Homo-oligomer: A and B are copies of this chain.
Amino acid sequence: MKNPFFKNYGPFKIEDILKSLDLPNIQNYRDDLINNVNDLSSAKKNEITFFNSKRYSSIASKTEATYCVTEKRLGEYLPKNCKKIYVDNVLLEMSQITSKFYPESINDNFDKSVKNISELDFENKIEYGENVLIGDNVKLGVNCSIGHNAIIEKNVVIGSNCSIGSNTIIRNTIIEDNVNILDGCVIGKKGFGFFPNNKKNLKYPHIGIVFIGKNSEIGCGSTIDRGSMSNTIIGKNTFLDNQIHVAHNNKIGDNCIIAGQVGFAGSSTLGNNVVIGGQAGISGHLKIGNNVQIGGGSGVIKDIPDNSKVMGYPSKNLRLFLKNK
């Protein structure tokens, strides 16, 4: 699933893309029209992708992308028919290309399209509080309840029987049926991604969305950032307590239980039936298996296999943790 919301300003000629980025066109690429940016596995013909770590060489070897931004040392892993664009900093250049296709994904200023819900025609289907604001291109299912001062900016889809709390802000998000988002949340904001630069950091575009599966609940004061190139996903029947932070690109499975003040650094994957105690932290780019239990306050910095119980900072097998203490 891709973000259906941001306007794609492409296609662009590959020659123009390289020129606008001040990249040398040593292979003399010319008129190929590029329709979209995409990750290695999702990219199709006439799309441009990127490849920046040997870790992904197996996926890279099967990419269908016509162009790939990569480093010279990685070129050999890509298929012959994939045209290489060699650069020094893959993510930086890819960020610029993404911004060219999706310029509206960088700026998260408030949505000027919102109207008071009482001026719109949702009235028969939902119950709503005072001062509720709704943007363009918002779809709401039947029997929804939307709290006071809630702001649902443009590009949001909410299923049936959902409850949105007061003072909650949602944008660039798809929510399935029977989901409760409690008070004071911010869902769908761009993630904390940028290229540090001593004068002025360069922001990474976030073209992903937040997706929340049916029957789930998000506690008060939680923040869930949308993805950069992929999506941030909360599975079905997964319950998050208050003051939780889910950074960009995390994928959380079904039937998970996550206690208060837990934080996810970004781009990690959680299996199903994972239970996490309060204030635990999950580092970035990890794979947490199914049926894993993580003790409160743990700092997880390594992958965790299925059916494990861990605790500690850094987290280790629970029995080992208790024995050491």
Q: Which residues of A contact B (CB under 8 A)?
A: 107-112, 114, 116, 127, 129-131, 133, 145-149, 151, 163, 165-167, 169, 178, 180, 182-184, 186, 189, 192, 194, 196-201, 215, 217, 219-221, 223, 225, 237, 239, 241-243, 245, 247, 255, 257, 259-261, 263, 265, 273, 277-279, 281, 283, 296-297, 299, 301, 312-314, 325
Contacts and interface: CB of A to CB of B under 8 A. Distances in A.
A277 B245 CA distance: 14
Of the listed residues A180, A277, A278, the one surrounded by the most CB atoms of chain B closer than 10 A to its CB is A278
A166 to B, nearest CB: 5
Contacts of A200: 178, 215, 237
Contact of A166 (B169, B183, B217): B169
A110 B166 contact: yes
17 contacts: A108-B163, A109-B127, A114-B148, A130-B133, A151-B167, A167-B167, A186-B220, A186-B221, A198-B255, A200-B237, A221-B243, A223-B260, A241-B245, A243-B243, A261-B263, A279-B299, A312-B313
A245 B260 contact: yes
B189 A182 contact: yes
Q: Which 4 residue pairs of A and B lie closest in terms of their CB atoms, listed nearest first?
A: A110-B147, A297-B299, A192-B241, A109-B145
Nearest to A131: B131
Nearest to A183: B186
A36 to B, nearest CB: 28
Contact of A237 (B129, B178, B201): B201
Given A243-B263, A260-B263, 8 more contacts: A110-B127, A110-B145, A167-B169, A186-B242, A192-B259, A196-B257, A201-B215, A201-B237
A223 B221 CA distance: 8
Contacts of A217: 201
Contacts of A255: 196, 198
Nearest to A239: B201
A232 to B, nearest CB: 13
A186 to B, nearest CB: 4
A114 B130 contact: yes
A221 B312 CA distance: 27
A169 B200 CA distance: 25
